[in-house]
A and B are shown apart, each in its own frame.
Chain A
Amino acid sequence: MLTNFEKIIEIFNQNNFEERLKTMSNLIQDMSGSRFVCLYVYEEEHKQLRLMYSSETLKPEEYKIKIDTLNSELLSPFEHNGKSLIPIRYKDKLVGLIGLDIGKSIDSLQCLQIATLLKILLEEESNRATMSKLVTMEKLDNEIGMVSTNIDELYKKVLDFAVEVSNAERGTIWLIGDRELILSYTSGISEEEILKRRVEMGYGMVGWIAQNREPLLSTSSKADPRATLDIFSFQVKSTIGVPIIRDNQLIGVMMLMNRKNTDFYRTYRHFDEFDLSLLVSIANRLKMAITQIELYTKLEKENKALKEIQKQSEDYINHQKEQVRLLNALQKILQALRHTQDMRNIYKIVMIGLTSNSGFRFNRALLLEKDEELKVLVAKEWLGPVSEKEVPSAWESAKADEEKYADFAHYLQEEALRVDLSDGLTSYAKGKVFSYTGDYIFDRVINRSRIVHVTPMLVAQRGEEFSDLLQLLGVKEFVCIPLVGRRDVYGAIILDNKYTNVPITDDMIDILGIFSESIGLTIESLKSYAELVDKTINLEKQRSSAEYFKEFLQNILENLDVAIMVVNRENVILEWNKKSSELFGFEKSKMINSDINMLGPEFNDILTVAQKVYTAKETISLTDYNFKFRGREFFLNMTFSPLKEQNVDVITGYIAMFEDVTRRHMLEIELRNRERLAVLGEMSAKIAHEIRNPLSAIGGFAQRTKKITNDEKISKYTDIILGEVKRLEKMVNQTLEFSRNERHGNFVLSCLNQIVGEVVDMYSEKFELQGVKIEFEKDEKNPCIKIEPDHFKEVIINIVQNAFEAMTGSGVIKVKVYSDDDNVYVDVWNNGIPIPPDKIESIFQPFFTTKTYGTGLGLAICRKIIEDEHYGKISVKSDAENGTTFTVRVPKDIDLKGGLK
């Protein structure tokens, strides 16, 4: 038999409330000895007793007993419905009733024991319920933790949880709107049950909570003055509600309505303080969760923003990279262009640059050149794959080629030289022309230097206006860029992405803008370069020719056979050329910047004439001016020209020019003489001829007379006649010979040693008889030249005879033949009476003779033979000291007629 204590322990060893109550009933059975035992618990809230345990099944109306239906004070046991009911109290408060068989009872101590036990069990149960709720809260935390970032979900979940955990029928969350509360979330409420969705602050319990910012517990809502009862259609019995406040800010209100029964027994049904505290705790968690979510959302948002920024910056960087890449490519293209002068290669480089992988990556590039005259653009070259099919192989090989070069510019140069654009795509476009006046695209491109970006939209709107071009290109998007220089637009390039369909971006258009100008400028500078080269060459020519002329003039001035002096107004010599020094003997260095008057008094007359240019203001000339200076006689042509500043009519000096015409003057005199002589000779010849026949007759008949006479006197007279006739005949013969003007005779190669030697031989014996020795010196080179030997011999004879005749008594005649490269000379020297200086110029003149006999034609004929027939020269030097030398010079090559080789 267990002791009471042991039984009490056993009660608490039971797992649940019901088992505990049953065990406790067993204890009561033991105590009371009653077969039947039941146990009621007092529910103060409803002033009723609830059946918690019964050893027998009771009628349903016995489950709950309202205490006011009992006629008992419930202070002592009483009988009811055939049972003995014993109230049990703890600290004067009714705890419940024990039902026993009538007549059975327990004592008051036992009652107190049971009351205490029941009270403990009830509290235990309440505590267990609380424990269970606390465990559930943990679940809430977990759940909330699992709630994603969605705040709606959170509100909903928390509300559902609160409803569940609090055993509430219904729950609501009102969120604060614009000075009102909005029913935002509900749990266990159907749409039809909602009467008001928005309430003002202070309206109803919701409004009260929101306004007072305090939790609310209303156990009998019907009677609660804070309730309005017009928000929902269902009946509200009890309510708990809490404000949701975060950071001192009211967000909303959470309310639970009408508590349900639960697993755990408690003596009342409505919400209690515990429920409210639970709700507060839930609200707190909600608040935290919201904060968390908000934080999370914020973080998420920030993260997202961050990611967005990151992406943006990556895009930006990529974009920048691409821009930089394109600018680099442009720079490389320009670099390649700088090394190219050929226009065709320039265009090729541009087009390859625009289409290659390291360049602008356009699929195709079409070059149009401007024809200024026809005002059209002419399609020249088109680069790119011909068809879709060709694309992979074409680009692969192009890329491979490209990769062979480390430097893109280098690749462009080489590729431009290598690639032939005359076939392929070009054949589709070549020669096509597009007017650029009034054309929708090209008018902008060429006349306004704009880049035109043709988009599919533009094609749809205005495509018809440039259908030709569209037909050629076969694309709906392309860009046309002008090649713009400073002075002109040189053409255009059309670019498209026919195969890749990559859209043409605004950034690309911007870069193309730079491209088009740069290329245009390059083309322009190239064209200008060619012009510049021409101009430079011309300039160079001009410059060098200017220098050349300066030098040339200086040279001329120095080498002119004319003495030139430039004298200024102050009579200072500014210029003095070489010939001036030669002519007048003053050194240039001494004369420049000297006074012209230092030339001496002989110049006075000349300088007086020179001064007249200042008044005459024009050139003054004097010809054949006979000027005697330092014992020499000159004949000068003089010119004095005024020196004028360029374009100014001020005479700042004069230019004096002196031409030494002495020799010419002499030659002129000689020529005049010769002319006179020629006339004389002609007359002489006529006279001689007329004389000849009568003379022959006179002589002939005188001869015959002499033959037939024996008379001494007649014979003597006829001899005189015959002598005079002979003398006349000789003169006539020589006169005729001299006046013969045709060059006649038989010119043959003759050796002068021999010809001259024969003459010497002929006379040596005869001369020696008269005491004159003749010596002959041959030329070792034995010159043989073309001469007329008879005539030449006659000349030598004549000179030798003259030499002999110059002798008075004994003497020597020296004859010498010698030669140089061009001439052969014969000198005949004698030491006889010298020829007087005043006669020396005259001895070659006809009819001049120093002899009492002789025709005076001998030397004249010699000169005629040597100078006229052989183009040589005969001259004489004679003085007492050196004797007299006749020199005959004959050119070796007579066919040159005296000219030089």
Chain B
Amino acid sequence: MSKDQKRILVVEDEEPVRMLIKEELEDEGYKVFTVKNGTEALAYLASNDVDLVTLDIEMADMNGLEVAGKIREMKKPVKILILTAYSHYRSDLSSWAADDYVVKSSDMSEMKRKVRELMED
């Protein structure tokens, strides 16, 4: 593992999807950590630093947008990518604490592109 390997925290409550995202991103060369809900995510980030967090919006304990807000309160230099079931608009993002969003799909290429773009910023 190289020293400049980027670290990503995947927050996803459904195991198969979490596993799929983890593998897909690891294929891209990222160091991927996973948690299954918002609470765990905040707990993880309290003691660990990552470069990017992927947040599923629909989660059992906490809405992804809410989690994003709390992450921002930690004042950490972390990018947040929202995974949503709906299509949204650039304008909506301004009110969000997230950096970008991507509509969930079996085709992971869109998500991987967004992650790449965010890592390059």
Q: How far is the CA of A701 from the CA of B19 in the complex (A)?
A: 10
| B residues less than 8 Å from A698 (CB atoms) | 106
Interface residue A600 (Cβ < 8 Å from any Cβ of B)? no
Quick one: closest A residue to B23, CB to CB? A704
| CB proximity of A792 to chain B, nearest CB, Å | 13
| B residues less than 8 Å from A692 (CB atoms) | 85, 104
Stretch at the interface among A561-569, A722-730, A864-872: A722-730
**Known contacts being A736-B86, A740-B86, A790-B89, is A703 close to B107, with CB within 8 Å?**
yes
The answer to whether B106 touches A737 (Cβ under 8 A) is no
Interface residue B63 (Cβ < 8 Å from any Cβ of A)? no
Interface residue A702 (Cβ < 8 Å from any Cβ of B)? yes
The answer to whether B91 touches A694 (Cβ under 8 A) is no
Interface residue B74 (Cβ < 8 Å from any Cβ of A)? no
Report A684-695 CB contacts with B as 1/0, cut-off 8 Å: 000001001111
Interface residue A581 (Cβ < 8 Å from any Cβ of B)? no
Quick one: closest B residue to A730, CB to CB? B105
Q: How far is the CA of A736 from the CA of B87 in the complex (A)?
A: 10
Interface residue A733 (Cβ < 8 Å from any Cβ of B)? yes
| A residues less than 8 Å from B23 (CB atoms) | 704
The answer to whether B103 touches A733 (Cβ under 8 A) is yes
| CB proximity of A797 to chain B, nearest CB, Å | 14
Which residues of A690-745 have CB atoms within 8 Å of chain B's CB atoms?
A: 692-704, 722, 725-726, 729, 733, 736-737, 740, 745
The answer to whether A699 touches B89 (Cβ under 8 A) is no
Interface residue A536 (Cβ < 8 Å from any Cβ of B)? no
Interface residue A746 (Cβ < 8 Å from any Cβ of B)? yes
The answer to whether A729 touches B58 (Cβ under 8 A) is no
The answer to whether A703 touches B106 (Cβ under 8 A) is yes
Report B22-48 CB contacts with A as 1/0, cut-off 8 Å: 011000000000000000000000000
> Which one, B24, B86, B91, B103, contacts A700 given CB within 8 A?
B24
| B residues less than 8 Å from A693 (CB atoms) | 14, 16-17, 104
| A residues less than 8 Å from B106 (CB atoms) | 695-700, 702-703, 722, 725-726, 729
**Known contacts being A703-B107, A737-B87, is A696 close to B58, with CB within 8 Å?**
no
| CB proximity of B12 to chain A, nearest CB, Å | 9
Q: How far is the CA of A697 from the CA of B24 in the complex (A)?
A: 12
The answer to whether B17 touches A700 (Cβ under 8 A) is yes
Q: How far is the CA of A700 from the CA of B104 in the complex (A)?
A: 11
**Known contacts being A689-B85, A701-B16, A736-B85, is A696 close to B91, with CB within 8 Å?**
no
**Known contacts being A689-B85, A790-B89, is A701 close to B104, with CB within 8 Å?**
no
Interface residue B20 (Cβ < 8 Å from any Cβ of A)? yes
The answer to whether A697 touches B17 (Cβ under 8 A) is yes
Interface residue B62 (Cβ < 8 Å from any Cβ of A)? no
Interface residue B60 (Cβ < 8 Å from any Cβ of A)? no
Interface size on A, residues (CB 8 A): 25
| A residues less than 8 Å from B108 (CB atoms) | 700, 703
**Known contacts being A693-B14, A729-B105, A733-B103, is A700 close to B85, with CB within 8 Å?**
no
| CB proximity of A361 to chain B, nearest CB, Å | 101
The answer to whether A701 touches B20 (Cβ under 8 A) is yes
| CB proximity of A453 to chain B, nearest CB, Å | 104
| B residues less than 8 Å from A729 (CB atoms) | 105-106
| B residues less than 8 Å from A740 (CB atoms) | 86
| A residues less than 8 Å from B85 (CB atoms) | 689, 692, 733, 736
Q: How far is the CA of A697 from the CA of B91 in the complex (A)?
A: 29
| A residues less than 8 Å from B104 (CB atoms) | 692-693, 696
| B residues less than 8 Å from A699 (CB atoms) | 105-107
Number of A-B contacts (CB under 8 A): 59
Report B81-121 CB contacts with A as 1/0, cut-off 8 Å: 00001110101000000000001111110000000000000
> Which one, A695, A702, A746, contacts B89 given CB within 8 A?
A746
| CB proximity of B102 to chain A, nearest CB, Å | 12
| CB proximity of B81 to chain A, nearest CB, Å | 15
| CB proximity of A198 to chain B, nearest CB, Å | 159
Q: How far is the CA of A695 from the CA of B106 in the complex (A)?
A: 7
| CB proximity of B119 to chain A, nearest CB, Å | 21
| CB proximity of A14 to chain B, nearest CB, Å | 187
B16, B19, B23, B85 — which one has the most chain A CB atoms within 10 A of its CB? B85
| A residues less than 8 Å from B20 (CB atoms) | 696-697, 700-701, 704
Q: How far is the CA of A516 from the CA of B6 in the complex (A)?
A: 121
| CB proximity of B26 to chain A, nearest CB, Å | 11
Q: How far is the CA of A696 from the CA of B15 in the complex (A)?
A: 12
Q: How far is the CA of A720 from the CA of B91 in the complex (A)?
A: 37
Quick one: closest A residue to B91, CB to CB? A746
| CB proximity of A747 to chain B, nearest CB, Å | 10
Q: How far is the CA of A699 from the CA of B20 in the complex (A)?
A: 10
| CB proximity of B15 to chain A, nearest CB, Å | 9
Q: How far is the CA of A692 from the CA of B85 in the complex (A)?
A: 8
The answer to whether A696 touches B89 (Cβ under 8 A) is no
Q: How far is the CA of A693 from the CA of B106 in the complex (A)?
A: 9
Quick one: closest A residue to B90, CB to CB? A746
Quick one: closest A residue to B86, CB to CB? A736
Q: How far is the CA of A745 from the CA of B23 in the complex (A)?
A: 34
Q: How far is the CA of A746 from the CA of B58 in the complex (A)?
A: 23
| B residues less than 8 Å from A695 (CB atoms) | 106
The answer to whether A696 touches B86 (Cβ under 8 A) is no
Q: How far is the CA of A203 from the CA of B54 in the complex (A)?
A: 185
Report A742-754 CB contacts with B as 1/0, cut-off 8 Å: 0001100000000
> Which one, B14, B58, B86, contacts A697 given CB within 8 A?
B14
| CB proximity of B17 to chain A, nearest CB, Å | 5
Quick one: closest A residue to B108, CB to CB? A700
| B residues less than 8 Å from A697 (CB atoms) | 14, 16-17, 19-20, 106
A689, A692, A696, A729 — which one has the most chain B CB atoms within 10 A of its CB? A696
Q: How far is the CA of A702 from the CA of B105 in the complex (A)?
A: 13
Q: How far is the CA of A693 from the CA of B86 in the complex (A)?
A: 13
Q: How far is the CA of A722 from the CA of B89 in the complex (A)?
A: 27
Q: How far is the CA of A695 from the CA of B104 in the complex (A)?
A: 10
Which residues of B64-86 have CB atoms within 8 Å of chain A's CB atoms?
A: 85-86
Quick one: closest A residue to B88, CB to CB? A744
Q: How far is the CA of A725 from the CA of B106 in the complex (A)?
A: 8
Quick one: closest B residue to A698, CB to CB? B106
Quick one: closest A residue to B109, CB to CB? A703
The answer to whether B14 touches A737 (Cβ under 8 A) is no
Quick one: closest A residue to B13, CB to CB? A693
Q: How far is the CA of A568 from the CA of B103 in the complex (A)?
A: 72
| A residues less than 8 Å from B19 (CB atoms) | 697
Q: How far is the CA of A701 from the CA of B85 in the complex (A)?
A: 19
| B residues less than 8 Å from A737 (CB atoms) | 86-87
Q: How far is the CA of A166 from the CA of B86 in the complex (A)?
A: 179
Q: How far is the CA of A695 from the CA of B16 in the complex (A)?
A: 10
Q: How far is the CA of A692 from the CA of B106 in the complex (A)?
A: 9
Known: A694-B16, A704-B24. 11 other contacts (CB 8 A): A692-B85, A696-B104, A696-B106, A697-B16, A697-B19, A700-B21, A702-B106, A703-B108, A704-B20, A733-B85, A745-B89
What are the 8 tightest A-B residue pairs by CB atom distance, in nearest-first order?
Answer: A699-B106, A697-B16, A700-B20, A746-B91, A693-B14, A725-B106, A696-B106, A697-B17
- Can you list 25 A-B contacts (CB < 8 A)? A693-B14, A694-B14, A696-B17, A696-B20, A697-B17, A697-B19, A697-B20, A699-B105, A700-B21, A700-B106, A701-B16, A701-B20, A703-B106, A726-B106, A726-B107, A729-B106, A733-B85, A733-B87, A733-B103, A736-B86, A737-B86, A740-B86, A746-B89, A746-B91, A790-B89
Name B's A-contacting residues (CB within 8 A): 14, 16-17, 19-21, 23-24, 58, 85-87, 89, 91, 103-108
